[in-house]
Each structure stands twice: as structure tokens, then as C-alpha cells.
A = this chain, B = another copy of it.
Amino acid sequence: MNRLDVTEAIFAIKKEKELSWEGIAEAIGMSTVWTTSACLGMNSCPSGAATKLVEFLGLPEEATRVLMEYPTKEWDKSVPQDPLIYRLYEVVGVYGDTLKEVIQEKFGDGIMSAIDFSMEVDKEENPKGDRVILTLNGKFLPYKAW
């Protein structure tokens, strides 16, 4: 079994058992976003999470080690096309310089880590149309002089 096999197996089981990403996440005691990304093969599982995932979904034993492998994180389209993903890319394009100004004003010269990082998706119900609340939480890393 390789990563792709495991991801496909997860999708098949999820469809068959009519599970949700949220339900899977809850079952293994991790967040929904992280759990989904681990299932899609974009994050490695710590051994505890891997074991629980295999157990909960009824994946073959050998999937545990595969889930723990360190993935190569790559994506297909350097400018994404699916409208949901493109809108996020557009936000980075339109607001990139703005975020640089605001973050560096608040924190000094440095960046927001994409490694020591977490993210959540929430739903805000709203009579004019529900709203997606996306929260990115990354450690500030100051540039160092040497």
C-alpha cells in the first residue's frame, strides 16, 4: 500500500459508511482540517492518530505505517482553477501586500509560519447567506541578522 492507495481506501470507506470528515476527526480526537489533510496525504500522522484512524475506518494494518510517512507536498496547478481554491489564491494576490504591511507592523520583520501552523473552518449562520470563517494560526518567525 502506498499513500494513494490509502487515500483511495479512505474515500471508498467514507462513501460506503456515509461518514463525514468531521466525524472521522472527532473519532481520532484531532481537528477536521488536519484530519482531512492527513487523509488526503498532505500531512503525516503521529503514531497515535494513525492507529486510531486505521482502527476507526477499518483500514488494513499496513496503512498505519503509510499514514505515518512524511509526504511530499505538491500540487498540480501553480495557479489553481477550481473556483473554491482559486478564490483563496485571489485573496493572496489581492491582499498579499496588505497582509505584509499589517503583519509586519504588528510583529516586526518576519513571516507567519506555514509549518508551525493550524487552520480551522467554521460556519457562521446568517440570514443573508451563511458565511465561511477560515482561521489561520501560524507562529510568527522573525528574520534574524547574523
Contact = CB atoms under 8 A, between A and B. Distances in A.
B114 A146 contact: no
Contacts of A34: 145-146
A86 interface: yes
A33 B99 contact: yes
Contacts of A145: 30, 34, 38, 43, 45-46, 49
Interface in A79-96: 79-96
B132 A115 contact: no
- Range class of the A interface residue count: 35 or more
Nearest to A144: B116
Contact of A36 (B92, B102, B113): B102
Contacts of A144: 115-118
A21 B134 contact: no
Interface of A: 15, 20-22, 30-34, 36-38, 40, 42-46, 49, 65, 70, 72-75, 77-119, 121, 123-124, 126, 128-146
